Amino acid sequence: MPIALLKFPYDLLGEVFKQCNPLELYFLSKCSKKAQKTVKLGGSMNWKICYWGREQILIWRDDLNYIFDPTDKPEDYFKIESCESMKIPKEGAFDMFFYLIETFGMCIVKSLEIQSGNFHNFLEITKVLIERNMEIEHFYIGETLDLNEVVNVLPLISQMNITKELQCRNSFPPNFDYQLDKYPNSIRIYDSPWFGINQLLKCPCTRIELGDSGLSNQDLNVFFREWKKTEAFPNLRYLEVSSKNIDNLSSIFDMVPPITRRENPRIRFSAWLGEDDYIFMCDAVKVYKDDGTEAWLDVELGDVSKLEFLVWDPDRDMWEDEELDPSDDERYEDEEFDDEEFDDEEFDDEETEDEEPDEEESDEEGFDGEEPES
């Protein structure tokens, strides 16, 4: 027997809609203008939306991702591939993004990614998000933008409300110069010669990763002299710098690189920085702030040297002693501490028919260990 759903009181409709997933509510909202209005009046959904480089849209609800997957094949339009995935017209992805935000009353963008293929749509989306001051938890700049595009993107960051992470994998023009004036909780910049010591000294982030950096031993000494001061850098948990200018010709933190522990027992760490963000370190050397706060520093030399620095949190971090033979170094690093690249597997659980599978590995990994003795 049919039910006159649209005649229900709005408070009751809100309870009914809570039992529906985003795909079901989308189809209901498209039945008529009255149906769309009813879905809106049923109350805002506590969901988050994602917009990916290939114009794929995801709605994140209760740790599940519902996928609106673009396709060029008209015969597949609005086809349900699974209970959590539906095909949509590729040319309509931009309009779909805002239709879903409006209809479901969403106010948080969980992730926004820009690639060269969606640059125009990205600019239009960003304009609206800035006007509405919508929160963007994670913002990713892919590595396929041309240099003019990426130069035009960075000034928008100061206008966007990015709260958790800024990740930029793209290269920048030679002699590029830019000053960030707004910071999320975490920044990961893979080509960062423009991010100098003055910006590092002002950076309030919890996690900082700077690849292809121009920072030198002298720059890092300036940073650590400031960090040692009581109450300096209260948010910082992890710093990673890869630079050709880190060498063994001068000291960092009163130690000449390489700075690492080689004697037994060997020490390895796993640190939790929030959500699914874990850091792994091996054989670092303990250092201290003036107030006694413990941290761990490791500097490895190479063609591109690497510095890792972790501020210890006994409530979150784990370490363990292990008798290891020095010959195990290469095996240990290969198996447990490879730098992994970001990909969208967290949000995109299945490949589409129109895309080749991504080959990048996930950024997430488990950990084990024991808590330090008190």
Structure tokens at 293: 């706060």
pLDDT (0 to 100) of residue 43: 64
Angstrom distance (rounded) from CA 206 to CA 288: 18
Confidence class for position 212, pLDDT limits 50, 70, 90: very high
Alpha-carbon torsion 348, 353, 354, 356, what sign? positive
User: How many other CB atoms are there within 10 angstroms of residue 48's CB atom?
Assistant: 18
Per-residue model confidence as pLDDT tens digits over 303-352: 999 999 999 998 888 877 655 444 454 444 444 334 444 444 444 444 44
pLDDT at 118: 74
| pLDDT attached to residue 293 | 97
Instruction: Give the pLDDT confidence of 110-166 residue by residue, as tens digits.
Output: 999 988 777 888 888 999 999 999 999 999 998 877 888 888 888 899 999 999 999
Q: Quick one: DSSP state of residue 344?
A: G
CB atoms within 10 A of CB 193: 19
Strands 266-274 and 207-213: unpaired
The tokens for 247 are 């060498």
Element containing residue 100 per DSSP (H, E): helix 93-104
How many C-beta atoms lie closer than 10 Å to residue 181's C-beta? 9
Better-scored residue on pLDDT, 353 or 109? 109
Residue 206: DSSP 8-state:
S
185's CB contacts (< 8 A; 6+ apart) are 163, 164, 165, 205, 206, 207, 235, 274
User: Tell me, what's the pLDDT at 352?
Assistant: 45
Give the lowest-confidence range in 4-8, 51-55, 343-347.
Answer: 343-347
Q: Dihedral sign, CA of 195, 197, 199, 202?
A: positive
| Whole-angstrom distance, CA of residue 111 vs CA of residue 162 | 10
